[in-house]
Structure 1
Amino acid sequence: MSTTEATEKFLTRKEVLETVKVGTSTLYRWMEQNRFPRPLKFTAGCVRWKESAVKNWISAQEEMRAVA
């Protein structure tokens, strides 16, 4: 395991929603459309998103807006 993987933070759904400022249905619709990273499933009731994946998605969105 690399140092980056060892220090990776995992976000709850609530934290992701607060970060990207959308509702639950929008988040899950984006995932269904492959427009947002999918979470990792640790157990049946525990899913978490890699913080780095969410940050990378945000950066990509900002880059697309800058080009448009």
Structure 2
Amino acid sequence: MSLPVSKEAIVGEGVAKGATETRRVTRLIRLPEVQHRVGLGRSTIYRWISEGKFPKPVPLGGYSVAWAEDEVEAWIATRLK
């Protein structure tokens, strides 16, 4: 038997009344998308990760990883400056 759950508990954090900022959700992107965005190959990306030159991926479970889209975008922005 389950207990009643509030809508805020299901959705996540409640939104304060009068809040004007939009809440940005971090999207995770997989290696092919990262390669497309940065124009680098798999080997270069992983080598630069080990050298501290590229954002580290987030483990998803098993052997699956993904990158936070905002970290990749920030890395691209620093390269363009």
What band does the TM-score fall into relative to the shorter chain?
0.7 to 0.9
1:34 is matched with: 52
- Greater fraction helix: 1
TM-score, with structure 2 as normaliser: 0.69
1:43 is matched with: 61
TM-score, with structure 1 as normaliser: 0.82
* Residue among 24, 28, 46 paired with 1:10: 28
* Distance in 2 of aligned mates of 1:45 and 1:11: 15
**4+ runs of 1 displaced by more than 2 Å?**
1-4
- SS at 1:8's partner residue? coil
After superposition, give the CA deviation of every residue in 1:36-62 in whole Å (9 maximum; x if it has no partner).
000000102210100000000000111
- Structure 1 regions of 5+ residues with no counterpart? 64-68
Tell me how large the CA RMSD over aligned residues is.
Answer: 1.5
Aligned residue pair count: 61
